[in-house]
Amino acid sequence: MPLLKPSLALAALLAVTSMAAAAAPSSRAIHLEAEKATLSGPVVAAARPGFTGSGYVTGFLNGSEKMSLTIPNARAGLYNVRIRYSAQTIKGYDLVVNGVKTSAIFAPSGEKFASQDAGNVELRNGVNTVEIDYGWGHYDIDSIDLVPTTVPRLVMPPAATVDPKASAKTRALKAYLVGRYGLGTLSGQYDAADNKYLRDVAGKTAAIFGGDFIEYSPSRIAHGSKTKHETENMIAAGKGGQIVTMSWHWNAPAGLIDKMETDSHGKPVDHKWYRGFYTEATTFDFQKALADPKSPEYALMLRDIDTIAIQLKKMQAAGVPVLWRPLHEAEGGWFWWGSKGPEPFKKLWRLMYDRLTNHNNLHTLIWVYSSGTDPKWYPGDKYVDIVGVDQYPSDLRDTETGVWKNLLAQYAGRKPIALTEFGGVPDIPAMQRVGARWSYFVSWTNDLGPKKNSKDEVKRIYSSPAVINADKLPRAIR
């Protein structure tokens, strides 16, 4: 679910690729010194030691400030971008190549200059432009290198499910996803209205259909929330030939603030019960509950998990496997299950895995982890089938290669990587050209769903050979 926040993984933080080594391409590398840029706001300085050339660019103090460089005679091809920078703390920035923006993050480098892999870009023959725009500002830029590169072969992860007792159909689904990994990206869409919109606009049905168990949370039911037959609708989608993925915006089991409050600026803040999955709307301390398995709070967590298990059992009985994506975006801290840091989160994830798999005998779940990119939050290979990330780029042409390479550096050969939420429809053909070969994507809803793209763009992407829609799924997993 999108928030007014930086994306969880706007770019790689000191990412290195762990794909198989590729042969060195023959095109020319390009080195750009920042002090030679056209500056709109920032200035050239030479106070910080360790810079190359005759100086570096500093400033970036307000939203309109940027630096622009021109490459007069590039050779068309794929290039890896490396930025030499300095930042005291984590700082967001925008890399703009030929008008296409990638929002990214610099890791802290202290007083020194560091080099960051900013992902891959395509250059055209002749003149190309490269900009660094403000983002969050307050960083220094020393130089930018664009090095010709190729797209190496993916190292395949195991096809087996983490649940050794997974049903035959669930195992077949996981094996299919691994078998297609790197060859094509499955399309996906949350919400029935947007699912229909895709059919109307593109004449295609997404391979994956997403739902949410939010209204089944006991603390929402207690306030009169209606489930709207979500489970039955998702079973129908599964029976109708789509793969089902389920999220759970878990309303806190207890401690709902349930009132309007005022923030430090005197503005009203909605902390009513229906926002109880947000950290700010509950006092529930799940870390404390986990520390005492005999506590009433621990029992409430088990009650809630068992309540959702009832719905998952209906899907299991109907023969519908689920790409199960609980406890998402924990790294951001805006949901209560991420409010206490990595260790309590991992403990909660493992508790949920054990409760659903062993206590409730659910063996139709493919476990999808989408907390973020920081490895400290990862629950472990024994509890995760697929690693995902949620992205909401401001420019839909952003190929997200920085994020891809960061995740690939961590999980290559271990887990498939997916875009588990996306604001709009990602440009999968462009992503594949630059090497970001996601297992699947699932677009969000309404104005942050396919309506964010033009209708022509939706048609183009969904008609691409790089995209696998429902009509291309094999019978064995339908």
Catalytic residue ranges: 329, 421
Three-state secondary-structure class, residue 91: strand
What 3-state class would DSSP assign to 53?
coil
Could you tell me which of 63, 65, 59 has the C-alpha nearest to residue 86? Answer: 59
Backbone angles phi, psi at 286, to 5 degrees: -70, -25
Burial of 351 (0-12, 13-18, 19+ CB in 10 A): middle
Q: Beta-strand (E) ranges in 21-153?
A: 30-33, 38-40, 43-45, 56-58, 66-74, 77-86, 91-97, 100-106, 114-123, 126-133, 140-148
Token output for 474: 């094999």
By the 10 Å C-beta count (0-12 exposed, 13-18 middle, 19+ buried), 183 is classed as exposed
Instruction: For residues 59 and 48, give the distance between their C-alpha atoms in angstroms, rounded to a whole number.
Output: 13
The sign of the dihedral angle between the CA atoms of 249, 92, 432, 178 is negative
Give the three-state DSSP class for 287.
Answer: helix
* Beta bridge mates, 208: 188, 243
Q: Which residues pair with 106 in a beta bridge?
A: 91
Q: What is the 3-state secondary structure (H, E, C) of 374-434?
A: CHHHCCCHHHCCEEEEEECCCCCCCCCHHHHHHHHHHHCCCCCEEEEEECCCCCHHHHHHH
The amino acid present at 410, given as its one-letter code, is Q
For residue 369, the tally of other CB atoms under 10 A from its CB is 25
